[in-house]
Structure 1
């Protein structure tokens, strides 16, 4: 049985997917000038006012429950479903998503930081392009094989070798799939390209 899946965001049924056109510049909040929302590390930022995100006028109108740009946004509905499934490693920050007319969208969203990045790709069994470095990262996968022992039963985390990849335990997938979250699909790792 496959214990892990990859989370992807696709077109909501029947509509072109909305995309984020503008997001906050948070360089001033970090001592280093960089805040890496893909690092898997706790950010612990002091954000009191909602972060403002605007939809791209060139995108579609189909809102998804997750927008994974450099500062990810997740709907309160999806966050609640993840919490109900036992996921407790998501740091949230206040956010406001505005439509192309600068009106808040009806659905409530929060900026999210997924805490945890695990090196669990079986690079010998995966189909991927990588350099010969000792710490492979930013690998291009055409097919992924997850070493489930290295994933250590974790429920929801970023893939160390390709931090844009979000790995989901099968128990979480089973809890979320019946909810039909907008645009959210779970892909078998061997079919994942990232």
Structure 2
């Protein structure tokens, strides 16, 4: 359903050219500039934007990590495992899921706003099927059930996209699908599971010694 809504939004943006600019999108959007403790931040420049966005990501990951380790995260895990049982214990599952969805949408909106400020444009394909699929692959590559995994997956996939698209842009969607299939069958828990396995093997080796 989410992927279908993305395609619908993309087609609506292309058709409503008087507002969205059509296929070209909205271009020439000025970057945000502000002062932080005497430091001039211009999101149109590479280094300041990287530092600022990295700080935002770090704060968001820490906040979500703190939330997931608290009572809220425990209840969400219970809802994920058995929503009926969680409701029987007195938890309002629909409300908690709605709030979680709103929070995730707010974070996604913040990410989109930062992207527009850095790139200076917003195009209909940003809500299309390819980017929506990439987000799923980020999670699959990094590892579900973790906060750091999708971040690492996003960095890896975006870097690979930039490298491959530089010499053959049409090849990227095919490779993206191949990566997703390989990850699902070879590393279903993502690349972070490799670290966990190596750590477990190392502990077992030390005990054997």
Kindly indicate which of the two structures has a greater share of residues assigned to helix. Answer: 2
Query: 1 or 2 for the larger relative contact order (CA 8 Å, sep ≥6)?
Result: 1
The structure having more radius of gyration, on CA atoms, is 2
What TM-score, normalized to structure 2? 0.25
Kindly indicate which of the two structures has a greater share of residues assigned to strand. Answer: 1
What TM-score, normalized to structure 1? 0.26
